Structure 1
Amino acid sequence: MADDARKTSGFWRRLKWIGLGLLVFGLVAGAYGYYRLMYEHREPLISDPDERFKYGSIGAEHDAGIPYWIFYVLPRMFPEKLPGPNGLASFGVAWEQGRELPIGFTKKKIGFDRVANNCASCHTSSYRTKVDENPSFVVPGANHRLDLQAFFRFLVDAAKDPRFNADNLMREIATVTELDWFDRLAYRFLIIPITKKRLLEREAQFAWIYHEPFPQWGRGRDDAMNLTKYFMIGAPMDNSFGPTDMPAIWNLKKYDAPGTTMNWAGDSHDAYSVIIDSALGLLGAAPKDSDEFLGHVIWLQDYLGQKPPPKYPFAIDAALADAGKAVFDANCASCHASDKTGRRMALAAVATDGERIATWTKANAIAANKAVQEFGIERKGLVEAPLEGYNPPFLDGIWLRAPYLHHGAVPTLRDLLTPPAERPKVFWRGYDLYDPVNVGFVSDGAEAQRVGSKFDVSERASGNQGHEFGTTLPPGEKDALLEYLKTL
């Protein structure tokens, strides 16, 4: 009996130690798995303000991030789905020499390296003064070269392709890097399948960018309010379509003046709200840490509020510019003086294309404000009223805001001073060679057609009518006015 008791006691002790060992192993394995798959590696904030704007994370890697090595090999695997040659560069991203990723693309380790976007991907301008020079990049201007719609479609189209599977991706990744055993298992059995699933889930949200009756946005434009409508509030797809130019967002303190509203149609109250809503669009979900997220927003508001517009890079005829100020005061200041801008003008008064206004309603604004409030974020938010027209824009740095009108339907400022019937009917957007005579970018010719996207004013939401102010001025006064506008 005693021997049996000792054996039984020994058995239970061994079982206890085995159980304890399994528990410890499970805890260690779980902790290791969490560290390799989910742990967020904190890095110091980038100290240089411009560098932080260009490459600093705002937290989008959590839900909207793409695993780095998948992101790296997709252009190699699916070149036929790109808008042109040269891989990721074909989307018109701003890419500084020697940098691992383009401006506006962030890399952060949350378990494993992930790539996401920040505001600079859409808000970095580029220009060249000569054919044979490297581009100059200007933050936080408008990326007139970025084909955002093509980028969205590329990610979804790649995920829909049967070649997007673990065998093919792992084979391609192995040609450029050697993953350790854990990453090989994680990529094959978790990361690749989950990434494919999440990209495919976006297809429904992107339905309107595949809608055949709608023309392509083209370079430098996005259908911003529809993005908000379908992503933030999950509204059903309707027949609205209103791509507009990506705006320059320097010197935002100018909107501090009482009575001003923001966005092309005055649909948002203030810079704080606009930055929050734009950043939430990049995150694709509620922020993981609201305090940290709002810290980024406050920093952006201060940075963008103080950032001055860029100086015109060519010589300016000072005497002609002085004469142009008088022309401006007599013909333009009634809409574009600092006490007039940022205040909505009725559509009938400016008579430009009205499709952008039709993309957004009071009900949309109420729903979007409610969605953000449910995230636990307080802001003035979107204007809960019907849209009636467009805001005459501030003209600081107007020389670098081409093409012109809210949807970029007129290539240069000189074209804008001609009657609508004489403005270009077809031109190419996205070439960065600057035209100082006409004040805008070169928009025709072999190279502009090679790198740009065709813009046809006869297509929907692309009309170049309206804004006939200054079109009857004598040629000499037009020249003087253009010279003055270069100084702003």
Structure 2
Amino acid sequence: MTSIRTLLPLALLLSACAGPPTPIPSGTPVPDAAGPLKVVNLDQGWDEQTQLAFWFSTQGSRIVPYRWFLALEQADSDAPFRSDANIERFGYLPARPGPGRWNPDGLPIGFTKTAEQAGQAWMGLSCAACHTTQLNIKGVGLRIDGGPAMADFNLFFGELVAALAATRDDPAKFARFAQRVLGEAASAAQQQALREALVKQLADSSARLTLNKPGHPPGHARLDAFGNIFNEVLVVALNEPANARPPDAPVSYPFLWDTPQHDVVQWNGSAPNGPFGLGELTRNVGEVLGVFGGLRVSDCGKDSCSYPNHVDIRQLGELEGWVRSLWSPQWSAQYLGPLDAAMRQRGQQIYQAQCLGCHASIERTDPFRRVTAQLRDVGSDPAMATAAAMRVAKTGPLQGTLSLPTLQRYGAEAGGGPLTVQGAVGVLLGDKDATLAALLSQFDAQLRDELRGGASVASMAADARRPSAQMLAQALGGGSSAHAANRAAAPAPAPNAIYKARPLNGIWATAPYLHNGSVPTLWELLQPPAQRMRSFQVGSRAFDAQRVGFDTQQGPYRFDTTLPGNGNGGHAYGTALSESQKRDLLEYLKSL
């Protein structure tokens, strides 16, 4: 079968022949607002425009109106809510305006502006908010794209709601807010309309805050993303309050490099990549639904429903393409100190004997790399895997309609995972043109990445894995291909306590460790579980290059491993090594 992608667009060929984009050299200064720190990039394969696009392109997330966010004061003072000091307190990364068209108002990394509709733009979050980190050492901040953020979203959103409430209740605060939003010449009617809109937004935001209140705060560097997504789909989108569950299984934000190259992703391995890019797109839509994608399920008939939302599907295709070209960061001798060659060699032998079975070695820059995830029960805390596998919900308006993953009719209840996939696929089917464009964008990105590796056009044209336009159209329009694709995109129930092992390239930059962030350093992970820290501080960016992780004595949040979901047991591999062997292994892990 001949694909329209076999006849490559002229622009794509010219782009490929021109060579890869110039990567950001190691040590390149970053436009940011980090004060006295010298913040630099490591070479991760991106040029500056790709990095900025990842940081500031909207996914369609809408948290509050954009002008409101610029104008809002903190609840207990007249200081701007978006001040650098406040943003740092939440664990997000401040940034300066620009360069060029990017981030004109100097939002933090991962904070975005939607296009205006009916005169209103919105502030929302992108992947970069949760998947960009920084390691501070000796006056230098190493910016790591795709790394797990230090963010505390619960703290951020709780204080945002408090700021909205204070603005409603304090006349002087509201007057300043209205002047910034409307201008000095605003009429009394305009101010009254703004107040009414503020009251409505506060009610909506307060309801979400209450819905997603955990039993105990997850703190910095963690979030129960599945729990939040489930609540947004199963409770809000389905309008079924009885489906609510507290999100009490927080996890560390996964690092993103090599994500498109995996067969399955998520900590529990529940989300497949493919076929034809549908798995990736479904996964990304689900992520946006959890960060204010606005899904509602309505107008359900015998065989279909409407799925109104404001997810930017086309942009999600671009985003997946950018992540495809992202490389893991490499240890910087310039900023972190040189590695000991003899220790590294001894550590490599230990790794090959004891670690390689679960954590395969890959070439970080190989455009053809593929990763087969290893799903294992290593005795770590089961809360996340259990919660995801056992979530059951009332189907509400979907009852009696066809399930997209199985083509069976929904009963009164169904699994939370399949229902969430139903919502995501409903979003994609609701805008087939955008979905097709996003899938082709993902394909173009893969092709460009492989051309960078020197693959011939002929060999890729003959690759049967690549979809044709006709196959994609059939998958989006109905028929057996669509049903097969939808079944493949549905996450299978995960057994309790089974999590995904992956290659460890760049692992040195991804603290804290284990799926739930319960172990602060790699050195600590090599200690027997009974001897690991029972509590430590989280939230500092101060990097410990010896133990490989963040400083455990600093930070605003105290991590208590005795709380539900916070257990630091399991993964006892390497714990029986001698101290010198552990140091050798650690030296090798730094080099990956």
- TM-score normalised by structure 2 residue count: 0.65
Tell me how far 1:386 sits from its aligned partner. 3.9
2:374 match: 343
SS in 2 for 1:285: coil
Identify the residue that residue 92 of structure 2 maps to in structure 1: 93
Q: Offset at 1:269?
A: 1.2
- Of the three residues 392, 395, 416, the one matched with 1:364 is 416
**Cα deviations by residue, 1:380-402 (Å, 9 ceiling, x for unpaired):** 53413243311113312100110
2:235 is the alignment partner of 1:207: no
- Secondary structure of 1:337's counterpart equals coil
Which residue in the other structure is 1:409 paired with?
Answer: 518
Q: What's the CA shift string for 1:326-367, capped at 9, x where partnerless?
A: 10011111111258852321x3xx011111112223601111
Q: Which amino acid aligns with 2:339?
A: I
- In the TM superposition, 1:91-240 aligns within 5 A as 91-97=90-96, 100-108=106-114, 110=116, 111-130=119-138, 133-143=139-149, 145-161=150-166, 163-165=167-169, 167-173=171-177, 179=183, 181=185, 185-186=189-190, 188-207=191-210, 209-210=212-213, 214-234=215-235, 236-238=243-245
Q: Residues 85 and 249 from structure 1, CA distance in 2 versus in 1: closer, same or farther, beyond 3 angstroms?
A: closer
Q: 2:256 aligns with which of 239, 249, 264?
A: 249
For residue 467 of structure 1, give the secondary structure of its aligned residue in structure 2: coil
Aligned residue number for residue 340 of structure 2: 317
Structure 1 residues 172 and 374: alpha-carbon distance in aligned structure 2, compared to 1, 3 A threshold: same
Contact 2:58 2:114 (8 Å CA) reproduced = yes
Are 2:538 and 1:429 equivalent residues in the alignment? yes
8 Å CA contact 2:152, 2:222 repeated in 1: yes
**Any conservation in 1 of the 2:114–2:122 contact (CA below 8 Å)?**
yes
Alpha-carbon separation, structure 2, partners of 1:299 and 1:471: 42
Q: Secondary structure at the match of 2:267?
A: coil
1:373 aligned residue (405, 420, 425): 425
Find the counterpart in structure 2 of residue 42 from structure 1.
Answer: none
CA RMSD in angstroms comes to: 3.2
Higher deviation after alignment, 464-473 or 108-117: 108-117
Counterparts in 2 of 1:68 and 1:165: CA distance versus 1, 3 Å? farther
Q: Which has the higher helix share?
A: 1
Q: How many residues end up aligned between the 2 structures? A: 422
| Matching residue of 2:383 | 355
Q: Does 1:463 align with 2:567?
A: yes
- For the pair shown, which has the larger CA radius of gyration, 1 or 2? 1
Instruction: State how far apart, in whole Å, the 2-side matches of 1:273 and 1:414 are.
Output: 37
Residue segments in structure 1 that go unaligned for 5+ positions in a row: 1-45
1:438 aligns with 2:447: no
AA partner of residue 482 (structure 1) = L
- 2:355 pairs with 1:332: yes
Q: Where in structure 2 are the equivalents of 1:32-111 lying within 5 Å?
A: 48-61=49-62, 64-75=63-74, 86-97=85-96, 100-108=106-114, 110=116, 111=119
Q: Give, in whole Å, the separation in 1 of the partners of 2:578 and 2:108.
A: 44
Flag structure 2 segments of 5+ consecutive residues without an equivalent: 1-46, 99-105, 274-279, 297-306, 362-369, 391-414, 430-475, 477-485
Contact in 1 for aligned 2:288/2:311 (Cα 8 Å): no
Correspondence for 1:384: 492
What is the TM-score normalised by the length of structure 1?
A: 0.78
Q: Provide the rounded CA distance (Å) in 2 between the counterparts of 1:71 and 1:291.
A: 22
Q: Give the % identical residues.
A: 24
Q: Give the Cα separation in 2 of the matches to 1:154 and 1:436.
A: 33
The 5 A counterparts of 1:240-319 are 241-255=248-262, 260-270=263-273, 271-286=280-295, 293-313=312-332, 314=336, 315-319=338-342
Query: What is the distance in 1 between the residues matched to 2:155 and 2:169?
Result: 22
Maintained 8 Å contact 1:81/1:158: no
* Residue range with higher mean Cα deviation, 148-157 or 105-114: 105-114
Residues 375/292 of structure 1: CA separation in 2 closer, same or farther (3 Å cut): closer
Letter in 2 for 1:353: D
- CA 1:208–1:356: 2 relative to 1, 3 Å: farther
1:205–1:230 CA contact under 8 A, matched in 2: no
2:75 and 2:281 map into 1 onto residues whose CA distance is 39
Alignment-derived partner of residue 486 in structure 1: 590
